[in-house]
Every structure is written in C-alpha cells, then in structure tokens.
C-alpha cells in the first residue's frame, strides 16, 4: 500500500498498480473440502412442522374434511403424531448411506399422505356404521 494521503479525505490510498500486483487471497471461510448437503433425515423442527400441518388438516375444514369430516383437535393431535412417526420409521428403514435423501423424502411424504387418507377413511366408515346402528340399521333397508 502506498503511503500517499488523499488530501480530501486524509486516508491512505492504494494505487491501481499496487492492486494488480497482489495475488488474490483465499477467503478464510472457504474450506478445501467438498460441501455435502443431505435432506434426510429431516430435523426435529421439520418433523414438528409436518405434525402440526397434519393436525390442521385433520381438525380443520379442508377438502379432505368435506368428504370425510373433521376430527376433534385432541384426537387429531394423537393421530397426527402417530402418522408422522410411522411414516418416519418406514422411510428411515428404506434409507441407505448412498442416497442423497430425495427419494427417501418423497417416500416419507407419500407415506404420510397414504396413512392420513387411510385414517380418515376408516374413521368415516366407523362413524357411518355407528350412525346406522344408532338409527336402527341400514337406512336403505327401510324403503318398503
């Protein structure tokens, strides 16, 4: 760096020639090892967000609830946690060290969707059967 002082600002200045002569210095934050990025397994925070979204889907009005009904929030909380846990276990069992995680994450997502749909369908069928028993049998049998 030159010892010249810019009279307007009273600060040291660097000449263009001095800048060009210096080789670029590597940033200390850059390491020479390759960066790896894995999306499986998801963090606990991500898993909690999935469970929370499942809870909302099961207990709030949605496209799914229009067809199968909503669950009480307490019941939905237990079911959402169970669905997420089972889907995580299934996907983890399918994981291998060579995977980058994308296929496993897709399997996890599909497993959650499948289990959620199975749960609401089964609950809807149970509810319909319960209603038929309470009303004295199958409503279609009363057509005579």
- Cα gap 14→5, rounded to integer Å: 9
Please compute, for residue 28, the number of CA atoms within 13 A of its CA located in the half-sphere on the CB side.
0
- Inform me whether the pLDDT recorded for 104 exceeds 50: yes
Closest CA to 51 of 12, 22, 84, 96: 84
Query: Alpha helix locations (H) across the chain?
Result: 16-21, 44-59, 63-68, 73-94, 102-134
The model's pTM: 0.66
Looking up tokens 């263009």 gives 16
Which of 6-20, 27-41, 105-119 shows the lowest per-residue confidence on average (mean pLDDT)?
6-20
Structure tokens at 127: 């509810």
Instruction: Give the pLDDT confidence of 62-94 residue by residue, as tens digits.
Output: 888 899 999 999 999 999 999 999 999 999 998
41 pLDDT band, cuts 50/70/90, is very high
List the domains of the chain with CATH numbers.
44-132 (1.10.246.200)
């Amino acid at each position: 760096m030159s010892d010249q002082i810019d009279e307007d600002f009273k600060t040291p200045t660097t000449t263009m020639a001095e800048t060009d002569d210096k080789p670029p210095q590597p940033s200390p934050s850059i390491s020479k090892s390759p960066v790896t990025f894995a999306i499986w397994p998801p963090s606990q925070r991500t898993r909690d967000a999935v469970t929370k979204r499942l809870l909302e889907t099961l207990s709030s009005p949605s496209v799914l609830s229009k067809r199968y009904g909503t669950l009480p929030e307490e019941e939905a909380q237990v079911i959402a946690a169970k669905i997420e846990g089972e889907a995580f276990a299934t996907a983890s069992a399918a994981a291998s060290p060579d995977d980058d995680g994308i296929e496993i994450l897709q399997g996890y997502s599909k497993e959650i969707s499948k289990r959620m749909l199975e749960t609401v369908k089964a609950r809807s069928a149970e509810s319909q059967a319960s209603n038929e028993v309470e009303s004295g049998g199958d409503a279609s049998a009363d057509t005579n």
